[in-house]
Amino acid sequence: MLFNTVPIGVVYIGADMKVLKVNGFIEKLTGKTNVALTGRPCYEIIAEKVDGQNKDKGSEMCSFCRKQQCLLTKNSAVVERSFGEKHIKITLTPKFNSKGEVTQYLEAIEDITSKLETEQKIVLNSQMQSVVDLILQISLEPIDLKEQLERILDFIFTIPRLALESKGCVFLADEEKKKLKMKVQRGLTEPITTLCNEVPYGRCICGRVAQSREAVYAPDIDDRHEIRYDSMPAHGHYCVPIISGQKLLGVLNLFIGHNHKRDTDEEEFLATVANTIANVIERKRAEEVLRDQKEFLRSIVQSTQDAIITINADGIVLFWNDGAVRTFGYSTDEVVGIPLNFIIPERLIHKHDECIKRVLSTGDSEAIGKTFELVAQNREGGEFPVELSLASWKNQRETFFTGIIRDISRRKSAEAELQQSVEKLRKVIGGIIQTIAMTVEVRDPYTAGHQRRVANLARAIATEMKLNEDTIDAIRMAGTIHDIGKIYVPAEILSKPGKLSDIEFELIKMHSEVGFDILKTIEFPWPVAQIVLQHHEKWDGSGYPIGLKGDGILLEARIICVSDVVEAITFHRPYRAGLGIEKAIEEIQKARGTLFDPDVVDAATALLTEERFKFD
């Protein structure tokens, strides 16, 4: 059973070189049975019959015997040869009798086809890896992409494994225009380089490869060669796409001889080469993009007027741009490599060091990622205000800090001048307002001080409601002149001690609109004219002159309305004596939510009942 099932061919051969017995492996290998082979010459199994040259063995012998490997050696003879589509290894071992004569041969036959294929694959992979390594070495050299591709193309032609002519080119793809552009070439004639300088996708062999993204083998000029010229020499191509991921980068076009035979290992080898070239192209383009970005950032960093400074965790200056040179007066060579303390006033150095330590220990700081103002000093020791934006970053080993520092001396000076101008303007406006107010009070001595008192209460109510300073100023100014329109009303009506007639009352009511007309052309920084126009409008819409209601009335006007009523009830009028503050609170509470804004009434009531406001 072992003899017939062992995966090695076994043949017993007599001294006369005739087969004595074969096992099952030989039967399968040759397709002949043991019975058919027994007694036949050994060469009928797997060897070759040749004319004999040994006088002792007749005129016919096998190829082994002719080489005297079997007949003369006392050791085993080993021969490897092709056997159809297989490759076999034959080991022939002689057996001797006591006289030293050969009595028998034992022939072992092994199918080594898979073994050889594996060995060839290992050799091929080793060659591929060597080629890839050499191409990648070329890609690391500090030369441009064109020169790299030229050297790679020259190297491909020297690879012994590839049966190529020293002709070919590399196309780069323009995906937007759907064209191939010849980047480098070797050995091509002028007509080819001219005609094939640009190849549209889908045209000729290279264009077909670009469109299909699959390699094409063309053993000779055929119908696919759409770009040709008279007297073009016969040739074939390997055209291989150069692809990175899903992106076509180009096409590798290599010429082959007229009688070249297609080789799948060769095509696999070229596919590996093309993939490696894709990596080279992608890397080079990434380097170019990175270099361009680096140059772009460098130009921005160096051209900005702001100082950009980078330090490490020890406070040592690592980067100092031209803006820093202009801002502080120190050159780059003077400061790189030394602590940053020279631009920090001595009284602030400790705080600076503490900030760095806090970031290193906790990874957090209130200063990081924010913009704030501080004081710096220049080369001459002069202190000046700066604005600092601070960022921290780290690599695998260290933490770094980068600050953008802007000299804000001019801005601070401009802000101070602007503040002075604003203050002057406020004083001018205040003077104008007071003058206008006095004009009304001169004509109406009974209500002298009314507008001032209304303005003071209105301002207090606005403060109680926590309104912003700008709104409070608007209320104070508008309150001071809210009755400016009464200048239109005859003095005898204003000071009339008795009840007003309907006509007289209508004249009084017109003072809101008259006040608006007087003030509307003055460009106050607040809506003073509108506040004056609306200060008699009521929460429920029953007021005048327009009949506005609710939030449709300016908040400033709603506050002045309540203040006006409180002051009018509290103080004397030509037609009655003052009723006092308690009566005024009672009246506004009674009309809360009908005539007056509830929030305004609540604020006024709180101020007056708690005596946190008193009229002068």
Quickly list DSSP for 202-233.
Answer: TSHHHHHHHHH-S-EEESS--TT--S--TTPP
pLDDT of amino acid 558: 96
pLDDT of amino acid 367: 65
pLDDT of amino acid 486: 83
pLDDT of amino acid 398: 83
* Cα distances (angstroms) measured from residue 270 to each of 162, 237, 254: 8, 12, 9
Buried b / exposed e over 372-385, threshold 16 CB at 10 Å, is: eeeebbeeeeeeeb
Phi, psi (deg, nearest 5) at residue 553: -95, 135
Top-tier CATH class for 119-289: alpha beta
Distance CA 154, CA 152 (A): 5
Distance CA 594, CA 610 (A): 24
SS3 of 406, please? strand
SS3 of 103, please? strand
pLDDT of amino acid 541: 94
Distance CA 314, CA 398 (A): 10
Identity at 408, one-letter amino acid code: I
pLDDT of amino acid 461: 95
pTM of the model: 0.47
Question: Cβ–Cβ contacts within 10 Å for residue 131, how many?
Answer: 20
Which stretches in the chain have pLDDT values below 70?
47-74, 124, 161, 258, 356, 359-367, 437, 439-448, 495
User: Residue 477 class from Cβ within 10 Å (0-12 exposed, 13-18 middle, 19+ buried)?
Assistant: buried
CATH 3.30.450.20 residue ranges of the chain are 2-111, 304-407
Identify the CA nearest to 454 among candidates 606, 604, 554: 604
User: Residue 566 class from Cβ within 10 Å (0-12 exposed, 13-18 middle, 19+ buried)?
Assistant: buried
Distance CA 465, CA 474 (A): 15
pLDDT of amino acid 384: 92
Residue 295, token pair as written in the block: 């140059």
Top-tier CATH class for 422-609: mainly alpha
Residue 324, token pair as written in the block: 């820093």
CATH 3.30.450.40 residue ranges of the chain are 119-289
Residue recorded with tokens 């801002």: 327
Top-tier CATH class for 2-111: alpha beta
Question: Cβ–Cβ contacts within 10 Å for residue 320, how many?
Answer: 22
Residue 403, token pair as written in the block: 């600050």
Q: What is the pLDDT of residues 452-494, one digit of tens each?
A: 899 999 999 999 999 999 999 999 989 988 888 887 777 777 7
- As its CATH architecture, domain 304-407 has 2-Layer Sandwich (3.30)
CATH 1.10.3210.10 residue ranges of the chain are 422-609
Instruction: Give the bridge partners for 385, in sequence order.
Output: 375
Distance CA 298, CA 306 (A): 14
Q: Give residues with Cβ within 8 angstroms of 447, minimum separation 6.
A: 440, 441, 483, 494, 573
